[in-house]
Structure 1
């Protein structure tokens, strides 16, 4: 998969999510304008449809996340990881883990630069890639520039990694792409039992205050005269 392929796949998911939202809006207009349906009948049509559309849009969002994550991991393996053949070599795997541990301990650009130069002199491409990964996170551009000059084939993968930020950094805007439309269900018909402490007419039940309860208790208690 290329970055362009990923764009096409994601756009397909988002287009389908938009189509589902439009479909619910269309059906909602038809159902609520049907004179042969009561409010309860309209709810019976719309509520399960809204639940179905909500589930489908959530599934599309999950598929986008999976596609982006899979491609990101592929790029990271290409730039920072081991080749398939090296992954089967215990010595290379051990070197990779050691390089990752050493790179994690780097906090200053000078120390990173020194270790990077040492990795170049010894031909330790695994350590150099591990330091590059840390340099990208910390913004140590001199290491990045030098590495790409020596490994031009990695440039496209790094640029694609940067381009993936549009799918990960602006999470609120992405979530909005998959937000289902408001259900906007008709109110239940008259006499329908309401929830939330309301009467059948939709008015909140009045909770007696303490004075009411005391007066009611006194009124129901016989009066005794003590001598």
Structure 2
């Protein structure tokens, strides 16, 4: 077992000691696998201590949310959105969008997430899918160090916190284009972003409390570096 997979399992056991992760094929994109929570032994009441730890530090990276699945499906159906491009997966989580971009010919893919646990998950999932991905925990440090412009930023399910909405305008300043998939904000009103596609997916493993977030909208925006080109 690889060191990064061992690290991922240790992170999960820190939250739910009895849990395990298994390689899981995505229903919409069966060519893509992720290390996700094995829910076969989770059909039991959680102890008060488990509930406390889960709420304080949820292992969200061992679930695959609907927005990431719809983003990966969109990339498969529209490979020119990433082919031969420098792509950053912003708020990467499990790295599903980054893996899809790498699979469909991106020139360079960087999975970026402020959460160190998510970066471990991205590394494990990149290895599982046999793709080359770079990793960063600091988006603004990343853009200061890149030696080439970002063509496309992918952002899936980053609006779980409405305080992140102002980031959408900041992201436009750092790339040529943005694709964003979200299931929580139904009427996004941010300058430059236009709804152009949608789809439905279920959180994996299934979580009944998230049924309302099955419907995903994809938005796109031109980045300032594209708009300002002579």
Question: Same fold by TM-score, threshold 0.5 exceeded?
Answer: no
Question: Scaled by the length of structure 2, what TM-score is found?
Answer: 0.23
User: 1 or 2, which has the higher helix percentage?
Assistant: 1
The structure with higher relative contact order (CA 8 Å, sep 6+) is: 1
